[in-house]
Structure 1
Amino acid sequence: MADDAKIVMETVRAADHDRYLTVLYAPEDKRGALFSLYAFNAEISGIRDRIHEALPGEVRLQWWRDVIAAEDGAAEEGAAEGGAAEGGAGGDGASVGHPVADALRTTISVHRLPKIAFENMLEARIFDLYDDPMPSRTDLEGYCGETAGALIQLAAMALDPVEAPRFAELAGRAGCAQAMTGLLLLLPLHRKRGQCFIPADILAAAGSSPQEFITGDGGPGAKHAVAAMIALAREHLAAFEQGAPSLPVSLRPAFLPLALSRAYLSKMVGSRHSPLHGAARLSALRRHWLLFRRATRGWPPL
């Protein structure tokens, strides 16, 4: 079990280092649950990078649905069947004893996490597998809420099931801010492979289109569209920061990734660090400091 727990932890450290750092501020008896949630998120968010084709990617997502839906008594059988399908779809051949799947099932059971949240998250991730443009701001906010927002709320429920429900709306705002920041950081990668997460209505207002945005330099409207996306992320971040001072200490680790969002967004402003030219980066020292400050002091009243 110790080896499996280490595998889950290392999955997060390798794929999502910022979230890995936030778990270190959680109580020791809660870290395993958070690592399992974040490892699951790393697994499903990275499917396109590992598989590259949509249909096998959907098979992988279905495998995770089966893992989550499996009753305790049938978990081993479900994992075995899913592992065979996953391997046949060009996956990594995972089968019985998949450490992340086992840890996730335990977390869902022990903390009584709602399976519907995971189902919605997996459904939202289908969008990642295709090159369809994001239709509108509303669609983008829905996507962010069902992915990053849901992950924050699930982490909060694992940390403190009594307090977590009071902050569900705040988790939604936080998820939008964090996910949009992440999409901006990944913008060069998405454009390279023909994906456009900037909503079509925002692009149209900037005088561009999804097709134009992903080709060449993005066209004359690209900078305005990126600026609008940054402004939207900041809007959600400001709404989160308005309510963040009331967060209880017990829930802070779930929201700690937001400690980095403002710094990332601030660095994106200006042509030198435009997301069109490359991902904004923060030094390890600054990331550690920002996380430490919010973990120990929380968010001050605005």
Structure 2
Amino acid sequence: MDEAATTARETELADHYRHCEAALREQDLDLWLACLFAPAQARPHLHAIGAFCAEISSVRARVSQPILGEMRLRWWYDSLEAPADSEGARAHPIADALFDTLERCAIPREEVVELLEAHSFDLYDEQMESLAALETYCDRVFGAPLRWRARVIDAEDAARQEEALRLAGRAFGLTAILRALPRHLAQGQRFLPLDLLARCRAESDFVEAKLTPALAAALAELRGKARDYFEKARKAVRGDGAARAALLPAALIPLYLGAMERKGFDPLHMIAEPAQWRRQWRLWRAARGRGI
């Protein structure tokens, strides 16, 4: 590649990274704010990862039937396997920035494939079979991007924080699913695990979207799981290395869980949304080293 072509390519990539930042800020303000506390050189890659996750998470809402969603996911599978200079991927700003990030930061592409495979569940109205299946979903959809972001910031420290990242991913995932419950119900998705609903005798209540004592107990148990994973993640953090910045979004978990537990909150029809200033304050405190 000659000098002019190299310069053009660098300009194109820079534009695509800026596109990712704008997309992330619009779709996930909490994560965008958390990125501000990461080293400047890592931020474009963090934006690419975040924009990709937001893009894939929104597939269900943007298609009218599952087969169209499968086609969108198929495009990502094929693009991952295509040559690095493939025109198809380079024409998609988020894909181009993501694949550049994967290459520069040595992020395993098989983990991206696992995330895509997990998101296939989103496209159908099937019931999540078990709590174990839901935790695996959280590991692939929420935990893996946490590890990628840590690796982008500091690969050596990311290895030290592996257990904290795994636990935080589960806590973050369970909390996100509980927050999104009204939207999932509206779209016909059934993320609450069948074994949990059966144990609480709340299967029919969930299908009918009725907040009975039985269903409230099931939701409380899931919140308890999220809080337990969060506390374990806090205790698993090792040292004060740079990769801890990847854990910052998890600092908001107690705020969201607390909002869901307030009197009068309807988890089937209301989305927990603590005040913006409270979220920013919590992120700042966590970034100052006072724990996630």
TM-score by length of 1: 0.88
Q: CA RMSD in A?
A: 1.6
Residue of 249, 260, 276 corresponding to 2:268: 276
Corresponding residue to 1:241 among 227, 234, 248? 234
Q: 1:213-263 CA deviation, whole Å, 9 max, x = no partner?
A: 03242445211111111111111111111113x253311221111110011
Selected match of 2:43 from 14, 23, 31: 31
The runs of at least 4 consecutive aligned structure 1 residues that moved more than 6 Å come to none
The 5 A counterparts of 1:1-302 are 1=12, 2-73=14-85, 75-76=86-87, 78-79=88-89, 96-209=90-203, 211-244=204-237, 246-299=238-291
Q: CA deviation at 1:69?
A: 2.2
Letter of the structure 1 residue corresponding to residue 91 of structure 2: G
Deviations 1:58-112 (A, max 9, x none): 1111111122222324x22x53xxxxxxxxxxxxxxxx52110110111011111
Q: Deviations over 1:179-214 (max 9, x none)?
A: 1111111111111222121111111111111x5303
The alpha-carbon distance between structure 1 residues 271 and 214, as it changes in their structure 2 partners (threshold 3 A), is: farther
Once the two structures are aligned, what percentage of the paired residues are identical? 35
Change (3 A) 1:298 1:270: closer
Kindly indicate whether the alpha-carbon contact (under 8 Å) linking 2:60 and 2:123 is maintained by their aligned counterparts in 1. yes
Q: Distance in 2 between matches of 1:131 and 1:216?
A: 14
Shift of 1:275: 1.6
Q: Give unpaired runs (5+ residues) of structure 2.
A: 1-11
Cα distance in 1 for partners of 2:241, 2:188 equals 42
SS at match of 1:237: helix
**Structure 1 alignment gaps of length 5 or more:** 80-95
Structure 1 residues 247 and 133 mapped into 2: Cα distance closer, same or farther (>3 Å)? farther
**CA distance in structure 2 between the aligned counterparts of 1:295 and 1:69, rounded to whole angstroms:** 37
Residue aligned with 1:230, SS: helix
Cα drift, residue 118 of structure 1: 0.3
Point out which structure has higher relative CO (alpha carbons under 8 A, 6+ apart). 2
User: Between Structure 1 and Structure 2, how many residues are aligned?
Assistant: 280
- Cα distance in 2 between the residues matched to 1:259 and 1:136: 27
Give the structure-2-normalised TM-score.
0.91
Distance in structure 1 (CA, Å) of the matches to 2:32 and 2:239: 21
Measure, in 2, the Cα distance between the counterparts of 1:277 and 1:72. Answer: 44
